[in-house]
Amino acid sequence: MFVPKRVIFEKDALKYRRGIELYEYFQNKDVEIIKLNSNRVQGIPGVDLAEKYAEGKRTLVIGVRKTLKFQTCKPSAHYQLPLVTGCIGHCEYCYLNTQLGDKPYIRVYVNIEEILQQAEKYTQERKGDITIFEGAATSDPLPVEPYTRGLAQAIGFFANQPDGRFRFVTKYTNVEDFIEVEHNGHTTVRFSLNTDRVIKSYEHFTPPAGKRIEAARKVMEKEFPTGFLIAPVFLEGDWKREYESLLTMLRDNISHIPNKNISFEIISHRYTSKAKNRILEIFPQTSLPMEEEDRSFKYGQFGYGKYMYNKEQISEMKEFFEKVITTYFPESKILYII
């Protein structure tokens, strides 16, 4: 469970029952509480970028989602479902390092009912077709679930939506906070996995792979559709042996579960020049492989370029994961390998 160093309450958050409950809860905890006279977040210390980053990661902001116009989330979903913004993990490669500013605090919303009502409106606009909502496009919502209950609410809501589906991805393990909710097969829980070497080197303040797989097993035993996001894949060193060991551990932990409904998403490591510069400011001692001469440059769908592995390396990666996954998990579906 995430224990913040400070909790900041936006002015409008205390107009909602959940905001009042959280304010009363944190008054009895050993945390700094800041009440704002506006909805502009302030009060997070820090001199240089690294310090601002660290302090932001230890800050929980309780706010209200003002705009109910949802962002699209192609190709994996139709819309983002904005339950949380930010993540407690200190993953060196994370794209959120370049998206959430100098102080990447975790912001939760107390008007979950209004957010879900808007999701229902979007679903009704596409009535007769399935509309998919992604709950972790700009966050990992699970660590703050004990405070928000947002995932539990969303799962229960979508269980009763014939044309609505919900999905989210996490690196964390407190699945007991939602797995008893009736889901009706309408929520897919996905776990971000990587090798223990990658986790230890780059995914700071996150659980090891074995703990994530244990959490996935618990979710699967409750018959949730379950996905595994293996990302980013680093094609350095003895990577094939390491990723096969990871998939072997996964197979051994879930092989007893009948009628498995599982999927895989595989994403190779890539980075932008902007991301590299930000990473080097926050993590100056990083060992992330970011040498441009070792990569191919490719423009993406949003108009900016990324440094990626070359075609031969990606082809080798696809061949490897297709072979291992179809052998170990013949009943699974590979959504993409990129």
Kindly report, residue by residue over 106-157, the tens digit of the pLDDT: 999 999 999 999 999 999 999 999 999 999 999 999 999 999 999 999 999 9
Residue 257 pairs in a beta bridge with none
- Contact 99/42 with Cβ under 8 angstroms? no
Q: Taking residues 307-322, report their average pLDDT.
A: 97
Q: What is the pLDDT of residue 158?
A: 98
Beta bridge partners, 33, equal: 7
Assess if residue 199 is contained within a domain. no
Q: What radius of gyration do the chain's Cα atoms show? A: 20
Residue 261 in domain:
no
Residue 208 lies in a domain: no
Residue 54 and residue 191: Cα distance in Å, rounded?
Answer: 24
**How far is 199 from 269, CA to CA, in rounded Å?**
14
**Which of 98-102, 168-172, 207-211, 277-281 has the weakest average pLDDT?**
98-102
**What does the H/E/C string look like for the chain?**
CCCCCEEEECHHHHHCHHHHHHHHHHHCCCCEEEECCCCCCCCCCCCCHHHHHHHHHCEEEEECCCCCCCCEECCCEEEECCCEEECCCEECCCHHHHCCCCCCCEEEECCHHHHHHHHHHHHHHCCCCCEEEECCCCECCHHHHHHHCHHHHHHHHHHCCCCEEEEEEECCCCHHHCCCCCCCCCEEEEEEECCHHHHHHHEECCCCHHHHHHHHHHHHHCCCCEEEEEEEECCCCCHHHHHHHHHHHHHHHHCCCCCCCEEEEEEECCECHHHHHHHHHHCCCCCCCCCHHHCEEEECCCCCEEEECCHHHHHHHHHHHHHHHHHHCCCCEEEEEC
Percent of the chain scoring above 70 in pLDDT: 98
- Tell me, yes or no, whether 82 lies in a domain: yes
Which pLDDT value is given to residue 301?
62
Can you give the residue range of the structural domain that contains 118?
A: 1-181
pLDDT (mean) for 293-299: 92
Mean per-residue pLDDT, 79-87: 96
Phi and psi, residue 94, nearest 5°: -60, 135
Give the separation between CA 115 and CA 133, rounded to whole angstroms. Answer: 12
Tell me whether residue 62 is in a domain.
yes
Q: Does the residue 46 lie in any domain?
A: yes
Residue 161: pLDDT over 90? yes
d(CA 305, CA 121): 35
> Which CATH number covers residue 19?
3.40.50.12110
Residue 232, preceding bond cis, omega within 30 degrees?
yes
Lowest mean pLDDT among 45-59, 118-132, 173-187, 309-323: 45-59
Residue range 205-215: mean pLDDT, rounded: 98
On the question of pLDDT at 279 being above 70, the answer is yes
What's the average model confidence in pLDDT over 4-9?
97
> According to the model, what pLDDT value does residue 75 have?
82
162 — pLDDT class (breaks 50, 70, 90): very high
- Evaluate whether residue 301 is within a structural domain: no
pLDDT at 47: 87
Domains identified in the chain, total number: 1
pLDDT, one tens digit per residue, over 14-27 is 999 999 999 999 99
* pLDDT tens sequence across 224-248: 999 999 999 999 999 999 999 999 9
Q: Would you say the C-alpha torsion 267, 268, 274, 279 has a positive or negative sign?
A: positive
Cα(39)–Cα(331) distance, integer angstroms: 49
Q: Which residue has the tokens 């051994």?
A: 252
227 φ/ψ angles, rounded to the nearest 5 degrees: -125, 160
Query: Is pLDDT at 304 greater than 80 in this prediction?
Result: no
What is the rounded average pLDDT for all residues in the chain? 95
Look at residue 302 in the predicted model and tell me its pLDDT. 61
**Using 50, 70 and 90 to split pLDDT, how confident is the model at 189?**
very high
Residue 303 has pLDDT above 70, yes or no: no
Residue 52 lies in a domain: yes
Predicted local distance difference test score (pLDDT) of residue 213: 98
C-alpha 14: how far from chain center: 27
Token pair, residue 305, equals 């370029």
CA distance 219 to 174: 11
pLDDT confidence of residue 155: 98
Average pLDDT over residues 253-261: 91
Is residue 7 pLDDT above 90, yes or no? yes
The predicted structure's pLDDT at residue 1:
77
Cα dist from 268 to 94, 128, 176, 328, whole Å = 13, 35, 31, 21
pTM of the entire predicted model: 0.95
CA distance 225 to 184: 10
Say what the pLDDT of residue 259 is: 82
